[in-house]
Structure 1
Amino acid sequence: MVTLRPSPVDAPDAHELLAEYFRSRTEGFALLDVAYRTTFPDPAAFVPPAGVFVVLDDDAGAPQGCGGIRLIPPGPRGVRYELKHLYLRPVTRGRGWGRLLVEDLEQRAREFGAAELVLDTHHSLEAAGALYTRTGFTTIDPYNDNPNASRWYGKEL
């Protein structure tokens, strides 16, 4: 049984997962002949109630994925959190663990009083886009100027 646990974003296991995530994005963007800008997250942005970062452990207790939410300026619906750095190690994909991460973070956003959960992604991340659509996110207008993003999604909570 997998477990999801809050973790400081700069804890060794969380940092290792984020480093893998950023490496994969850098390599993926290079294939598209596009530069990827890596920015490790500010740990303070993921401390409740400003946000939370979670690590997904497999049934053996090994960290296999991560993701977080952070408070951003209010949107048209009110309090808004942003889903960030959703990542699963490639060997674990296709098991439904991405959905578990999204649903866990969505519930945590609700508990923090969010009216909306938003995210940005890149069109080359087709599996991620499909996951967001399957979990109820819809395309929205850009809410930020992230140079790594080409698609924006939102979900009313």
Structure 2
Amino acid sequence: MTDIDINTVRRFSRTVSQRIGVLDADYLGSGRPLAEARLLYEIGEAGSTIRDLRSRLGFDAGYASRLLRALEADGLIRLQPDQTDARVRRATLTKKGLTQWALLNERSDKLAHSLLAPLGESQRARLLAAMAEVERFLRACALTIEIADPAAPEARACIEGYFSELQQRFEGGFDPEQTVSAHPEELIPPAGYFFIARLDGETVGCAGLKIKGKTGEIKRMWVSPSARGLGVAQRMLEAVEAQAKDAGVGRLRLDTNRTLTEARSLYLRNGYKEIAAYNDNPYADFWFEKRL
């Protein structure tokens, strides 16, 4: 990245923050700063647990607690134990809070209208398309990939999502018992590794790495439909390759089905070469290898 790149990002941030009122202590005439107004919006009509609010907004415990106390002191929210888990606190809007929430929504719509109204039709279309593109890439910036326990609930949920999709996409369905194994014990160091991708606090993908000697095999690579188009698979593949190198793996292998055209494209553009079959996976139509 160049100094010009950095300055472009900084200038964009200054322009956006000024135009949407981030600098105003009285955001949208609500009498409160943006952080409190946003927290009120996220609680919404259905309410939310404090844990989920912190995860979605990236607030640390202390900051979230201060904001919530301010809203509670103004009579806008009610804090109480969650009905499904008394150890977790839940925030709900009071009648006054619902009124404020509706007012903020109305004023937010008017602010959006004021940003678009001065532009011609083609300029509006270009701005909206650019906004969608910027949002997509900013979301991608928030992606994290970590090594996780393959037996943990979030890991199992990912793998079940993966199996469910294969069941729908494969012509004859999919039976996990008939394919090459990737059991939890095979994805724990030093036998292997399991990776979880998270975005805005939500688990959006997984990948497994099995290791045997100097050869590694990629298994269970999957991205949730909600996060596709953000480069999640590419980032996971890079994480798997980096970990494989650290573990002393000299080559990576994998197999894939002909219906998974996106996966084949991913591997080919990352230097994987098609090879002869190295296993008897009944669902495999292509086999790939890459020297690290």
User: Does structure 1 residue 84 correspond to structure 2 residue 219?
Assistant: yes
Partner SS state of residue 25, structure 1? helix
Native 8 Å contact 1:52 1:70 kept in 2: yes
Shift of 1:138: 1.0
Instruction: Indicate which of 61, 86, 89 corresponds to 2:201.
Output: 61
The residue type equivalent to 1:10 in the other structure is A
Where does structure 1 differ by over 6 angstroms across 4 or more consecutive aligned residues?
A: none
Shift of 1:46: 0.8
Native 8 Å contact 1:69 1:83 kept in 2: yes
Give ranges in structure 2 of 5+ residues lacking alignment. Answer: 1-141
The alignment of Structure 1 onto Structure 2 pairs a total of residues equal to 148
Q: Rg bigger for which structure?
A: 2
Native 8 Å contact 1:9 1:41 kept in 2: no
CA distance in 2, matches of 1:94, 1:35: 25
- Aligned equivalent of 1:141: 276
| TM-score scaled by length of structure 1 | 0.90
- Aligned equivalent of 1:37: 175
Native 8 Å contact 1:7 1:53 kept in 2: yes
Native 8 Å contact 2:278 2:287 kept in 1: yes
Native 8 Å contact 1:9 1:46 kept in 2: yes
More helix by share: 2
CA distance in 2, matches of 1:103, 1:35: 30
User: Does structure 1 residue 3 correspond to structure 2 residue 141?
Assistant: no
- Aligned equivalent of 1:49: 190
More strand by share: 1
Partner SS state of residue 176, structure 2? coil
Give ranges in structure 1 of 5+ residues lacking alignment. Answer: none
CA distance in 1, matches of 2:144, 2:223: 13
Instruction: Indicate which of 70, 94, 100 corresponds to 2:235.
Output: 100
What RMSD in Å do the two structures reach over aligned CA positions? 1.2
CA distance in 2, matches of 1:95, 1:35: 28
